[in-house]
Amino acid sequence: MAQVLNQRDGGFRFEHVKMVRQLAPRCAEALSLAFFEDDDELNLAETIVASPAVDSLAETVLPAIPAHAEDSRAYGTAQSDKQNPYAMVGRHIGRYSVTDVLGVGGQGFVLNAHDDLIDRDVAIKMVNIDVTKHPMARDRFMHEVRTMGQINHPNTVTIYDVGEYESSLFLVMEKGEGGTAWKLIDGSERVPWPRAVQILIDACEGLDAAHRRGLIHRDIKPDNILLTADGAGKLTDFGLALAPNTEDVAGAGRIVGTPHYMSPEQCGRGDVDHRSDLYSLGGTFHHLLVSQPPYPGRPKLHDLLHAHREDPVPDPLAVDPTLPPECATIVAMAMAKNPADRYQNSMQMRQDLEWLNELGRRNV
């Protein structure tokens, strides 16, 4: 629906939020009745479930929703408390005390909570799909849990726990005390380029760990890089990850990912492999360097997809000529249209970033 509104009216604006909130539950219910109960029609149903997970908090799609008491009314009286994130504040989910709402997305929300047993703050991702009615949603959710659990690397987010609360699934994970790379962009005029380089080095490490296990992330973007209190970067949101020896959960020919950072292959130009993640990482680097995504000013989806497929690779120096030329070189290598012309693995990209990092240290 957001894509349809983008096609009709340009950018997605705040006045659309009420319309979407009214229509989305009705559309979801109709689709669930039509497809979730029929095992022969899994492609479309899986595509619905495979929309980007809520770790991103949908901040690139919906306006930020301030966490105060009045916001609970925006969800309407027809929704249950478990679908209203603000109604969860002050409650317990198992041993976890919910203290705040970190963000709201299309599939659910992320809560700030405290683990009363271990005495640590955590983030709880809660999916507001009733698994008693849609058991396939449980399988999709557990796919993400297992994917993240397999990696176990300092530069990927740690999973602490998983469970159900009133028929809704929840995932307890490490909280990023430093927010996300997206919040870093959103909260400052410009991220210093040495800071952007260090975040990308950390992301390369986490991505290498995933790729070594044969996993393709497919949704690398600034709000899927979590930042710790000391500023280290950790990859999160493996909800769209494609594991080895498995069929694509989105079905053949489906477009998955976040359009601002999707590789030409993800935009319908070929088979997706680990080098698609490197393209998205290059787009993320561009965004961190100049505070705008690779192809800004394209509110229509098909224009944005066409740009990734056909337009020249963006040059961050065209926005900020004071950047080291090597920044543009790394973006160009990562975002080459042909996968064969890109970095062939994240360690190659990391090596160039480390060299640039050394340059930054010498200039301090």
Give 59-100 pLDDT, tens digit per residue: 322 223 333 434 444 444 334 555 688 999 999 999 999 999
- Report pLDDT digits (tens) over 141-165: 777 677 777 788 999 988 899 888 8
pTM here is: 0.72
3-state SS, residue 115: strand
Number of neighbours of residue 166 by Cβ within 10 angstroms: 10
Tell me the domain boundaries of the chain: 2-174, 181-363
The answer to whether the beta carbons of residues 338 and 273 sit under 8 Å apart is: no
Pick from 110, 59, 108: nearest CA to 258: 59
Number of neighbours of residue 247 by Cβ within 10 angstroms: 12
How far CA 313 is from CA of 212, 251, 266, 271, in Å, comes to 27, 29, 16, 20
Mean pLDDT score, 221-225: 91
DSSP string, 296-330: -S--SHHHHHHHHHHSPPP-GGGT-TTS-HHHHHH
pLDDT of 56 over the 50 cut? no
3-state SS, residue 242: strand
pLDDT score for 248: 42
pLDDT score for 84: 82
Fold designation for 2-174: Phosphorylase Kinase; domain 1 (3.30.200)
Average confidence score pLDDT of the chain: 77
Question: What gap in Å lies between CA 20 and CA 16, rounded to an integer?
Answer: 6
Instruction: Mark whether 219 is an active-site residue.
Output: yes
pLDDT of 249 over the 50 cut? no
CA 360-363-364 angle, 5° bins? 90
Fold designation for 181-363: Transferase(Phosphotransferase); domain 1 (1.10.510)
- Report pLDDT digits (tens) over 311-346: 999 999 999 999 999 999 999 999 999 999 999 999
pLDDT score for 8: 56
Q: Which two tokens stand for residue 73?
A: 């009314």
Burial class (CB in 10 A: 0-12, 13-18, 19+), 184: buried
Q: Which of 219, 223, 237, 277 is catalytic?
A: 219
- Report pLDDT digits (tens) over 90-133: 999 999 999 999 888 666 788 999 999 999 999 998 887 777 77
Name residue, tokens 């901040």: 59
pLDDT of 257 over the 90 cut? no
pLDDT score for 72: 43
Mean pLDDT score, 350-360: 91
